[in-house]
Structure 1
Amino acid sequence: MSVPKTGRFDAEDLVTAWRERGEFPKIHTAMTAWVRENVDPREGPVLDLCSSTGLLGRRLAAAGYTVRAVELPGPALQLGRSNGVYEYVPVMSLRIERDTLEDLGDWLRATVMPGHDPIRTVVARRAFPELWDSLGGAEGFSALGRLLAECGVRNVLLEGRAHSSRTTHPLGEAIAEANALAESWRVLCWRGPLYHLVPRA
């Protein structure tokens, strides 16, 4: 079977390490600890936004969280699915753009219907710069922030990049990600590139 090209040189190795030895990527350790520090699993399902191969979501599931995921159709999602990473993590295949925001909203709203557990926490590790681009910049990104708040999400836990003088992207560091969501979200606490946002009252 041909190996999907994910655009991330170590994706196959990370999935193989998990499948063969049960090892989760070290790059997810800080975010996993941040989630456990800030959100109790009893608060409700966690959404792994832009979940790639699914290894972060699977690690959170192993830590006792109910996890859902959203990932754009493509090689990373294929790699995770074909290796069983998503076996216990339901995933929505969706490229998040201005034209598909309502599809995401419909899916989130469906989780608050009777008989379902509403998604209360969104986990976004290195995801927001990608979404800024696919949503066309500030206006579309703000619309995403409003949508998450309107659909009952109570926590956004993000891990951005540390400050670098070489950064050129508008969301090139974590504080920029938080500021870009400031219309609908405020910072509750942070540590380095890890931020916990809650809805504005």
Structure 2
Amino acid sequence: MAYRRLAAVGGAVILLIAGGARGGFDMDRMRQVAQLRFGTAAAEAVDGWRSAVVSWRDLPEEAQLQRVNEFFNRRIRFAEDSQVWGQTDYWATPLEVLARGAGDCEDYVFAKYFTLRELGVAEDRLRMTYVRARIGGAGSSVTQAHMVLSYYATPDAVPLVLDNLVTGIRPASARPDLAPVFSFNMQGIFVGGATQASQPVDRVSRWREMLLRMNAEGLRD
């Protein structure tokens, strides 16, 4: 993401989630769209994703987290939206991220989130979390806006953090470099350490635009 935009993003997230009951992926449809829009390499990337998802379905949930985190961290190269899409802020679908093989921190998070939901991980265990990430070491005062995926085994558990900046999954208590700002999922927005969404969201934004593109690509409601 473009880190200078944290304040603007904070306001925009109040407009994020316009409904959005998640169905499953129609992988055949996604492959067709990938082939038509991006070419053979993109279709093959979808094939690889589908094969991986099938192989992960019967794994324990913690193993699914590890596999999904590793899959996208290894396959996707970090790049700003301006480089990948020619826009200052574009929320790419998992198909688009796989097709381009590149994305910013938000794109990693959305791809991991929707893959875990496809595997059956419950909505209330996953939150997309905006943080201030400290860079330059423990003594540094330099931070940048960043997004990670948080997994809650129980509502009041210390979440596990899935991050494109760090290879392994760690509990939030082991990531002093990250200062949470707020988090969200389909249920709404969570502020601070709240276990319940502080407010529902009912206005259209980039989140809804992304979901509409996903529906066209093969996400079944």
TM-score, structure 1 normalization: 0.29
Which of 1 and 2 has higher RCO (CA within 8 Å, sep 6+)?
2
TM-score, structure 2 normalization: 0.28
